[in-house]
A = this chain, B = another copy of it.
Amino acid sequence: MARIDFPEEVQLLVSHLKRLPGIGPKSAERIAVWLIGQDGDFSYDLAKVIGLSADMVQMCPVCGFFQSSQTGCQLCNDDQRDRSLICVVEQATDVLPLERTGAFRGSYHCLGGRIAPLDGISPEDLRISQLLERVNEGEVKEIILGVGSDVEGEATANYLAELLTEKSPGVAVTRLAQGLPAGGGLDHADELTLYRALDGRRRI
């Protein structure tokens, strides 16, 4: 009896899908089965859209946000942004939530990740030299470290704070406040959050 496996094309599809972030072998199989069940139309659309993005979208060499070949970088082209203020974030996707607050009118710098030795990501893998270049142009007055509040985020913030204080002593380096999330009672906050909320308490 022949050994049964998926047709070669399906195996190839699964092996490619598995490489996407957050997609394991099971999810890859599930997506492949679903795609093949869609009568082709959606698959062709998806393939076209992936190709289009690869053709048209790059990372902005300055700020690290997405830029389209057609429109350029929306952030860097926006003359009304305060260029003396840079918010440093981990990923390009972190820009939109900050923008939605409406509270920030400065510019951004996307690192492309965070320092995570266990995952083999060291400072050299991040867009830190590009950040220093922007700071060296002299216009920057404050850098807000808008990285996450987990271990890797803390490590990245500490590394950047030290580096920036050393290289550009005139630039203020700040960090997003940590404390109770909006709408959360004390009973839902973990100890570290409470500790940081106490530590960062403000006079009202």
Contacts and interface: CB of A to CB of B under 8 A. Distances in A.
Contact of A96 (B6, B36, B74, B112): B6
A53 B33 contact: no
A46 B52 CA distance: 12
B4 A53 contact: no
B96 A13 contact: no
Contacts of A35: 20, 50, 53-54
A81 interface: yes
Chain A contact residues: over half helix, strand or loop, or mixed?
helix
Contacts of A43: 50-51, 53-54
27 contacts: A2-B80, A4-B78, A5-B74, A6-B66, A7-B56, A9-B49, A9-B52, A9-B56, A9-B68, A12-B52, A12-B53, A16-B42, A16-B50, A20-B35, A21-B31, A21-B34, A29-B93, A35-B50, A36-B53, A36-B58, A36-B59, A40-B54, A40-B55, A43-B50, A43-B51, A47-B51, A50-B50
Interface of A: 1-10, 12-13, 16-17, 19-23, 27, 29-37, 40, 42-59, 66-68, 70-71, 74-75, 78, 80-81, 91-93, 95-96, 99, 105, 112
